[in-house]
Structure 1
Amino acid sequence: MSERVLIAGCGDLGEHVARLLLAQDNEVYAFRRHPPDHDDGIQWLSADLTCPETLAALPERITRLVFMPAPQAREPESYRAVFLDGLRNVIDALDAASLERMLFVSSSAVYGEHGDAWVDEATPPSPPGFNGQVLWEAEQWLMNQPVDAVVLRLAGLYGPGRMQLIERLRAGQARAPREQQQWANRIHVDDAAAAIVHLLALRDPQPVYVGVDDTPLPLDVLYDDLARLAGAPPVPSGPAPVGIGSKRLSNARLKTSGFRFRWPDTREGYADCIRNAPPAE
């Protein structure tokens, strides 16, 4: 059955999602503040989550909503405006009688410091940074609304166009903590998009899923392996990233739901990106 899907805040990941939905013969609407002018099958709209008046002309009879905006700035006010006020605005603007499923794209930033312990959907959130705090607040608000909502907490995204880590490694700018173990969790953008589409259609989903591949790795192991793949110099030691906490994310619930990863190993996904990267100009 074809669905009428709205992607609220449709950036790069959202366009990946839209293409998968279109391939399934769904009707896909998407908005951002400044939509592109190309005709790619997506029905683009110009709207701003933080301005309710711009949402008045959203399409009727939307059956699926994907909420995945990007704040304009990495500061608490921008996060609250988008993930709290914006979330309320877009839900208020849609026909509740038609909306059958909403998927909220959250982040593993809602989890805090857990050392070497495995972290899954049952682990209580304890966000150390304002970004995770706002997302956790938005999740809690959403779960109290009369809508069938699913939250997907994504780990760090990588893939074509998201190769900043490789660039930093090649430039000798990355540092790896070696005295104190810090876990790295990643998911390829193609798998993240596929997981969103999978959960949109899943019958009787759980309320929360963690989106991460099969291979959480100590950060120094990941950096050393990627440096070898990229032909980068050895990675010097340095402090762990501040304000994110160490944790090993589990994808058991997502895989139990029937989802299968194209890139279960972060290193294989990065290797493919490196092989297929366009030549430097």
Structure 2
Amino acid sequence: MLATSLSRRYETVLVAGAGDVGTRLARRLVAEGRQVFALRRGEAAGGDGIAWLRGDLTRPETLAGLPRVDALVFAPAPDARDEAAYRAVFVDGLRHLWEALPAPPERTIFVSSSAVYGEHGGAWVDEDTPPDPPGFNGRVLLEAERWLASRGAGGVSLRLAGLYGPGRTQLFERLREGKAAVPRGRRVYANRIHVDDAAAALAFLLDLDATEAVYVGVDDTPLPIDELYDAIARLLGAPLPSDGPGPTGVGNKRLSNARLRAAGFRCEWPDAREGYASLV
């Protein structure tokens, strides 16, 4: 990762929703010498330099006594994949947390998703592409993005592509078991970002001097799904996946990370074929 426009460093950071990406970010910030608070519903092991807090974003009464922080990274995960659960966490939960903080943070980064985009027939998509979410998840995330933007307090949304990395290898088992299918020869694209690059992008945006309201978080190399899955299958010594329909409810597009790159960010894993190879 390279940074060319960094000037402000936020020394106290709250990571709300410290799951996989959030915890990787928190550890990265602690290693830089910052004071990091991490909020989650369950217990945390501790002993890692992170100040763990317990609270439920859907229950405002559990958020009393939160510390004053310079910056907030909002990266929760809902309990269920339905609209009510998404709304409770991303829309109501963000509002509950914002109201519970002693003062508004100078910068808030909302971890959003490329699910806010729709069908684009394999064309390039970036931050200027009008959102058109095909599913409830994208619609709820877009509503939360807009609520944050309306606060006028340094809000930034990072729309992440599909995450992969350590612990996210279900695709390996599907390929080994011959359960994966791909739309062969139809140029239906996969958009991916390694979890460590996602955490690095969040850390980068925390300190970027002049930010835009929205960034797309994806690697440098959108790939047709059949090319990506075939490459992984060969790494595993698994059979090549059969021909079949593309993924539903996400739309076919090539996500561009040009805005992040122009700001100075570089992925450690710019091509998912290399990133997956590191996991085999």
Superposed CA offset, 1:68-100 (max 9, x none): 000000000000000000000011111335x11
Aligned residue identity for 1:77: A
The answer to whether the aligner puts 1:51 opposite 2:23 as a matched pair is no
Aligned equivalents of 1:168, 1:38: Cα separation in 2: 34
Residue in 1 that maps onto 2:164: 158
| Secondary structure of the structure 1 residue equivalent to 2:243 | coil
Task: Kindly indicate whether the alpha-carbon contact (under 8 Å) linking 2:46 and 2:52 is maintained by their aligned counterparts in 1.
Answer: no
| Secondary structure of the structure 2 residue equivalent to 1:144 | helix
Residue in 2 that maps onto 1:112: 118
Task: Kindly indicate whether the alpha-carbon contact (under 8 Å) linking 2:201 and 2:217 is maintained by their aligned counterparts in 1.
Answer: yes
Task: Tell me the TM-score normalised to structure 1 length.
Answer: 0.94
The answer to whether the aligner puts 1:131 opposite 2:137 as a matched pair is yes
**Which has the higher mean CA deviation after the structures are superposed, 186-195 or 162-171?**
162-171
The answer to whether the aligner puts 1:9 opposite 2:7 as a matched pair is no
Residue in 1 that maps onto 2:71: 64
Consecutive unaligned residues of structure 2, counting only runs of 5 or more, are 1-8
Task: Tell me the TM-score normalised to structure 2 length.
Answer: 0.95
Residue in 2 that maps onto 1:88: 95
CA RMSD of aligned residues (A): 1.1
Residue in 1 that maps onto 2:152: 146
Residue in 2 that maps onto 1:247: 253
| Secondary structure of the structure 1 residue equivalent to 2:279 | helix
The answer to whether the aligner puts 1:24 opposite 2:5 as a matched pair is no
Aligned equivalents of 1:180, 1:231: Cα separation in 2: 24
Aligned equivalents of 1:14, 1:2: Cα separation in 2: 16
**Which has the higher mean CA deviation after the structures are superposed, 181-190 or 119-128?**
181-190
Residue in 2 that maps onto 1:256: 262
Aligned equivalents of 1:174, 1:260: Cα separation in 2: 31
Residue 234 of structure 1 deviates from its aligned partner by 1.5
The answer to whether the aligner puts 1:191 opposite 2:181 as a matched pair is no
| Secondary structure of the structure 1 residue equivalent to 2:275 | helix
Superposed CA offset, 1:25-63 (max 9, x none): 11000011103133111111110000111111211x210
Superposed CA offset, 1:221-270 (max 9, x none): 11111111111112101111111110100000000111111100110010
Aligned equivalents of 2:131, 2:152: Cα separation in 1: 23
Consecutive unaligned residues of structure 1, counting only runs of 5 or more, are 275-281
Residue in 1 that maps onto 2:4: none
Task: Kindly indicate whether the alpha-carbon contact (under 8 Å) linking 1:109 and 1:127 is maintained by their aligned counterparts in 2.
Answer: yes
Query: Whose RCO is larger (CA < 8 A, sep 6+)?
Result: 2
The answer to whether the aligner puts 1:76 opposite 2:80 as a matched pair is no
Moved over 4 A (4+): none
State the percentage of identical aligned residues: 62
Aligned equivalents of 1:38, 1:5: Cα separation in 2: 17
Aligned equivalents of 1:104, 1:2: Cα separation in 2: 16
Task: Kindly indicate whether the alpha-carbon contact (under 8 Å) linking 1:2 and 1:25 is maintained by their aligned counterparts in 2.
Answer: no
Residue 111 of structure 1 deviates from its aligned partner by 0.3
Aligned equivalents of 1:197, 1:131: Cα separation in 2: 25
Task: Kindly indicate whether the alpha-carbon contact (under 8 Å) linking 2:66 and 2:102 is maintained by their aligned counterparts in 1.
Answer: no
Aligned equivalents of 2:188, 2:261: Cα separation in 1: 24
Aligned residue identity for 1:122: D
Aligned equivalents of 2:152, 2:43: Cα separation in 1: 30
